[in-house]
Structure 1
Amino acid sequence: MPSTEVDQIIAAFGDWRGETLSRMRALIFDALPDVVEEAKWKKPTNPLGVATWSLGGLICTGETYKDKVKLTFPKGSSIDDPEGLLAVGAGVRRAIDIREGETVDAEAFAAVVRAAAALNAAPKN
């Protein structure tokens, strides 16, 4: 269920960044209707916090920057990503940077989101 806190984060950006984050949020909910949406890591320099989506563990975060919207998958290096969406990152994390005017393949993104949730649900060794 969409959270009012993430609504506030999106509303704080009345430009392409808010529209992009809103579009990606909708794709996440389409891929995983039971996903839990929250705003976390609130601090004085970022009082609205960071948009997060979880299901059995953190799936991804959504952050806005001056020149991009970044969706970070904390276990991205372990996620099946045949389309190469998770191109940005080092170590275990991988992210998708979306700049003004860019779009993300909805089906490929949904597959990455579902793969992240499946990884969270997988038995831990």
Structure 2
Amino acid sequence: MTHPDPVGERLAALPGWRGDTLRRVRALIRAALPGVQETVKWAKAGSPGVPVWEHAGIICTGESYARAVKLTFPRGAALPDPAGLFNASLDGKVRRAIDLHEGDTLDGAAFGDLIRAAAAANEQAQAARKRR
């Protein structure tokens, strides 16, 4: 029995470098955090929705724009980023993002560390909510 794969379908529908970039990001996320939950959220008329990766909350979203693929981390401001991957939404107090443009490369090891840190931050926040 096959299971629906809305993220795979969404990424397959993206042509060119944006689709290639998000498929690579997906592979890096899955390698860093086996068992990560994948969904497509915020679909509406005129928008097929946004791929979302979750573990005890949203880790990151993968949005596709004309000139960039944006990976947004809702708790990004609280995450260690020694490799300096975050390059967008730097003024916010909570979220951070990585904008990838055509031809950009992403440090897979550093990105995997960021994914694991985001998952750990979500687990800590979830545990804190349960203690209240």
TM score, norm. by length of structure 2: 0.88
| Contiguous gaps of at least 5 residues in structure 2 | none
Gaps of 5+ in 1: none
Match of 1:7 in 2: 8
Q: Percent same amino acid among aligned pairs?
A: 49
User: What's the offset of the Cα at 1:8?
Assistant: 1.9
Q: Which residue of 2 aligns with 1:101?
A: 103
The answer on 1:59 being equivalent to 2:59 is yes
Secondary structure class of the residue paired with 2:128 = coil
Q: Which residue of 2 aligns with 1:78?
A: 78
Pairwise CA distance, 1:51:
0.1
Count of paired positions: 123
Residue 79 to residue 16, structure 1, CA distance change in 2 (3 Å): same
Which stretches of structure 1, 4 residues or more, deviate above 2 A after TM superposition? none
Q: In 1, Cα distance between the equivalents of 2:123 and 2:79?
A: 13
**Which residue identity lines up with residue 128 of structure 2 in the other structure?**
K
> How much does 1:85 deviate?
0.7
Q: Aligned partner of 1:96: which letter?
A: I
Deviation, 1:58, is: 0.6
Q: Whose radius of gyration is greater, 1 or 2?
A: 2
1:3, 1:16 → 2: CA distance? 24
Shift of 1:12: 1.8
TM-score in terms of structure 1 length: 0.93
What is the Cα deviation at residue 3 of structure 1? Answer: 5.7
Cα RMSD (Å): 1.4
